[in-house]
């Protein structure tokens, strides 16, 4: 019935996509790839990152490989609603660093017909679920788990092993603080 009155309009259906895995697995690279593909198709996108992630750039999401895309820094997931202006795709990098309100925000966006894409660590350095990621994976229509290569044996990595002494769950860093390890190699060093 809707299309009878507006035959040239296309109804937009929203959904949630999650890209997860350990550090150095290509999560951000995949997120940027999807966004650049959408931009090429003239779809309006907007990308957000948490305030805590200032490793490579203040106002861009940057992969470990150096691929970058402009981003807006967010303190709280709810702030998204003041920033979006008709974008068809809303994306979040480092989603594990946001609080659990991100879950409701993503559901609300998808229910409004927006494609939501998130990238983040599914587990912390101890191998336990990280932040809102487990629930986001449950409510997502699409989940892509990417893998790094274990630096010890060459198998698929399971976890981001922390190389420095620090018991806090959140410790932002890169190769100077973490290395990807498979389950077997991680269990050897965790003992």
Output the CA torsion sign for 67, 71, 74, 77: negative
Euclidean distance between CA atoms 95 and 88, whole angstroms:
19
What are the angstrom distances between the C-alpha of 190 and each of 21, 66, 131, 160? 19, 31, 22, 12
Is 94 in the active site? yes
Catalytic residue among 17, 29, 87, 94: 94
Can you list the alpha helix ranges (DSSP code H) found in 86-190? 101-111, 133-139, 183-190
Give me 93's structure tokens. 């990098």
Euclidean distance between CA atoms 127 and 141, whole angstroms:
24
Please give the positions annotated as active site: 94
């Amino acid at each position: 019935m809707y299309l009878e009155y507006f035959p040239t309009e296309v109804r937009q259906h929203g959904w949630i996509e999650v890209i997860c895995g350990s550090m150095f697995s290509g999560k951000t690279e995949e997120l940027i790839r999807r966004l650049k593909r959408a931009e090429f198709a003239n779809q309006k996108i907007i990308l957000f990152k948490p305030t805590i992630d200032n490793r490579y750039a203040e106002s861009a999401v940057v992969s470990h490989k150096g691929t970058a895309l402009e981003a807006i820094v967010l303190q709280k997931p709810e702030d998204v609603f003041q920033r979006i202006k008709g974008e068809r795709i809303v994306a979040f990098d480092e989603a594990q660093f946001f609080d659990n309100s991100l879950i409701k925000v993503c559901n609300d966006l998808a229910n409004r017909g927006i494609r939501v894409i998130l990238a983040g660590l599914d587990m912390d350095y101890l191998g336990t679920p990280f932040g809102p990621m487990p629930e986001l994976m449950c409510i997502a229509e699409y989940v892509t788990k990417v893998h790094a290569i274990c630096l010890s044996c060459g198998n698929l990595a399971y976890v981001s092993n922390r190389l420095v002494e620090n018991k806090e769950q959140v410790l932002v860093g890169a190769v100077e603080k973490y290395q990807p390890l498979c389950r077997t190699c991680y269990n050897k060093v965790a003992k």
